[in-house]
Amino acid sequence: MLLLALSFGAYLFSLVKKPFLYIGLILQTAYIISRGFSLGRLPLVGPHDTIAFLSASLIAFSIPFSVILKKQPLFHNGLAITASAFTVFSLISKQNNAPLPPVLKTLWFESHVVLAFLSYALFGIAAILGYFYLREKDDNAEGLQYRAILIGYCLFTLSIVFGGVWAYLAWGTYWLWTPKELWTSILWLFYGLHLHARLRQWWTDRMLAYLGIAGFAVVLFTYLGVSLLMKSSHSF
Amino acid sequence: MKPLKNITGFFFSLRTTLWSLFLLVAMFLAGAFIMPAREEFQTIHSAPFSQWLARQPLSVTWWLWCSLGILLILTVNTLFCSIESIVKKRKGTNLLLLISPQVIHIVFLFILFAHLLSSAGGLSVVAAANEGTMFGISAENDFLRIRDISIFASPDGYISDWEVNIEYLSGQGVILTDKIKPNQPSLQMGLNVNVKDITARPYKAVLLQISKDPGASWALAGGILFTIGIVTLIIFRMKTERISSRSTSLPHKP
């Protein structure tokens, strides 16, 4: 937990000294790896571990975007604040140290979860880029937001495919009508709408930026809201 | 001729795609709040989806019916737009870049078809069983028998693994044997036999689920096609799309 607490400090301090963002990433990665070794499994069960992974993925994926944007302070600060908030949430969430139930011991589950959180991280970056575009009117940000969403959408769809295969093997069907699956469909359709809207000139870059920000709100509800508030196959 | 032109124009339009997606999101959002609040949805997996839907009051399933209507429009729209795109850009130099988005569109149709098949012919039966229990699994006197159940526990008492040996029988006796393990169902005779729950006390027993999902192979084919299409799309799109060139790189659609 010390490494995680230190990573939180590093993310916050990066608002003053930028390189601390990457020190935070290294600390958080070290924490995730140490959790994996101590548990003897992929540490991706429950909000504590998943949100730490989301936070680290957010910063890791942001590196190429930061390079292209030449470390714009607003984008950097957006990342630092988001990563700090996620890390706090991880710190206050209860750790799940129980061994995995047999049904979760499969590469399908691990791939499903890893891909889902990598896509969430890219959608998070897209939202920050959307905010950055609205504030700075930098055309690069719009193009980068599109790339983040396109790759995130692909990873998210692959996550659904892997989840479907796993569900078929574990529960006999690739699709269950539960709130989580419904919200997953909403998220998938929403970003599908975003990618298609970009093809129409009528949709201004400004509207797409807002759509990218709204999308991340749907992501957060799909991930945390549904898992914490509703009964589903993905409850924490 | 004008009404026909209007109809084809409607289905060829990207505007139709956007409105359909927007309305679908709106319907699913409505459903996301209706579903947890209504007890009718507790029985949604008890029968093929189409049969379940037909039996429920419209006041709780209106959003599903509306979604089906919108999906129908979206299906025709996807077909029309994909064909139009291939015809318009067929002289382009990069064939892979041209067809990879269309492959993803086809995947969308595969998934819809998979859901259609599953909702029409899917079934799922759950029953508690212990060693020696026998079930009828078809009208042709085919049976399934639980031969033995093995449960392995970790030193701290958690179930770490399990294994259920089963036999398929017909009039002539045992026709084949199989083993069910976590994430390894028995896939024989067009059925998926898996264990939903298992217990060691007071005696070894399982909650066995026997299901049939005719859409699963289509969904899997869609998943594989999607993976191929998306890898191709990302590789070629990233190469060709300039970051800030939205106005020059994208087609002007009505």
Contacts of A175 (CB under 8 A, 6+ apart): A164, A167, A181, B115, B118, B219
Which member of A166, A172, A196 has the closest CB to residue B209? A172
Among chain B residues, CA nearest to A229: B36
CB contact under 8 A, A175 and B24: no
Nearest residue to B148 (alpha-carbon basis) of B162, B135, B166: B166
Within a 13 Å sphere around the CA of B65, how many CA atoms are in the beta-carbon half? 11
Mutate which of A70, A140, A168, A181 to disrupt the B interface (most B C-beta within 10 Å)? Answer: A168
Q: In Å, how far from its chain's centre is CA B206?
A: 26
The 8-class DSSP code of residue B97 comes to H
Cβ burial, residue B185 (10 Å; 0-12/13-18/19+) = buried
**pLDDT given for residue B56 in this prediction:** 93
Question: pLDDT digits over A185-235, tens only?
Answer: 999 999 999 999 988 877 788 899 999 999 999 999 999 888 777 665 555
**pLDDT given for residue A233 in this prediction:** 59
Q: CA-to-CA distance for B44 and A182, rounded, in angstroms?
A: 13
Domain assignment of residue B172, yes or no: yes
Domain assignment of residue B231, yes or no: no
Q: How far is B229 from chain A (nearest CA, A)?
A: 10
Number of H helices, E strands in chain B: 7, 8
Domain assignment of residue B141, yes or no: yes
Do B19 and B81 fall within a single domain? yes
Q: CA-to-CA distance for B243 and B149, rounded, in angstroms?
A: 59
CB contact under 8 A, B182 and A177: no
Do B1 and B84 fall within a single domain? yes
Cβ atoms within 10 Å, residue B118: 23
Question: pLDDT digits over A141-156, tens only?
Answer: 888 999 999 999 999 9
Q: How far is A28 from chain B (nearest CA, A)?
A: 29
On chain B, the residues whose CB falls within 8 A of the CB of A189 are: 21, 24-25, 28
Q: Average pLDDT, stretch A10-29?
A: 94
- Six-digit token pair at A69? 């944007």
Do B132 and B201 fall within a single domain? yes
On chain B, the residues whose CB falls within 8 A of the CB of A201 are: 247, 250, 252-253
- Give the residue from B67, B88, B109 where a domain finishes: B88
DSSP string, chain A: -HHHHHHHHHHHHTTTSTTHHHHHHHHHHHHHHHHHHHHTS-S-SSHHHHHHHHHHHHHHHHHHHHHHTT--HHHHHHHHHHHHHHHHHHHHSPP--SPPPGGG-SHHHHHHHHHHHHHHHHHHHHHHHHHHHHHH--HHHHHHHHHHHHHHHHHHHHHHHHHHHHHHHHHS-S---SHHHHHHHHHHHHHHHHHHHTTSTTS-HHHHHHHHHHHHHHHHIIIIIHHHHS-STT--
Question: pLDDT digits over A52-72, tens only?
Answer: 999 999 999 999 999 998 768
CB contact under 8 A, A102 and B241: no
The 8-class DSSP code of residue B39 comes to G
Q: CA-to-CA distance for A155 and A161, rounded, in angstroms?
A: 10
Among chain B residues, CA nearest to A173: B213
Question: pLDDT digits over A106-154, tens only?
Answer: 999 999 999 999 999 999 999 999 999 999 888 888 889 999 999 999 9
Do B27 and B79 fall within a single domain? yes
**pLDDT given for residue A136 in this prediction:** 87
Full pLDDT tens readout for chain B, 254 residues: 678 888 888 888 889 999 999 999 999 999 998 998 888 888 888 788 888 999 999 999 999 999 999 999 999 999 999 888 888 877 766 777 778 888 888 989 999 999 999 999 888 888 899 999 998 888 777 899 999 999 998 887 888 899 999 999 987 888 899 999 999 999 988 899 999 999 988 889 999 999 988 999 999 999 999 888 888 887 777 666 554 445 434 443 43
Whole-Å CA distances, B165 to B148, B168, B178, B209, B229: 5, 10, 6, 14, 40
* Residue in this structure with the two tokens 């069907």, named with its chain if needed: A173
Q: CA-to-CA distance for A171 and B192, rounded, in angstroms?
A: 9
Let me know: does A177 contact B45? Beta carbons within 8 Å.
yes
Do B75 and B140 fall within a single domain? no
- Six-digit token pair at A85? 């908030």
On chain B, the residues whose CB falls within 8 A of the CB of A140 are: 243-244
On chain A, the residues whose CB falls within 8 A of the CB of B223 are: 161, 164-165
Domain assignment of residue B160, yes or no: yes
Q: How far is B174 from chain A (nearest CA, A)?
A: 24
Domain assignment of residue B54, yes or no: yes
CB contact under 8 A, A200 and B18: yes
Which member of B18, B32, B241 has the closest CB to residue A196? B18
Domain assignment of residue B216, yes or no: no
Mutate which of A171, A180, A235 to disrupt the B interface (most B C-beta within 10 Å)? Answer: A171
Structural domains counted in chain B: 2
Preceding peptide of B202 cis, ω within 30°: yes
On chain A, the residues whose CB falls within 8 A of the CB of B115 are: 175
Domain hosting residue B64, numbered range: 1-88
CB contact under 8 A, A102 and B196: no
- Give the residue from B208, B227, B244 where a domain finishes: B208
CB contact under 8 A, B122 and A173: yes
Which member of A98, A154, A231 has the closest CB to residue B234? A154
Looking at chain A, the whole-number percentage of residues with pLDDT higher than 90 is 68
Q: Between chain A and chain B, how many beta carbons pairs sit less than 8 Å apart?
A: 153
**pLDDT given for residue A234 in this prediction:** 58
Q: What is the ipTM of this complex?
A: 0.89
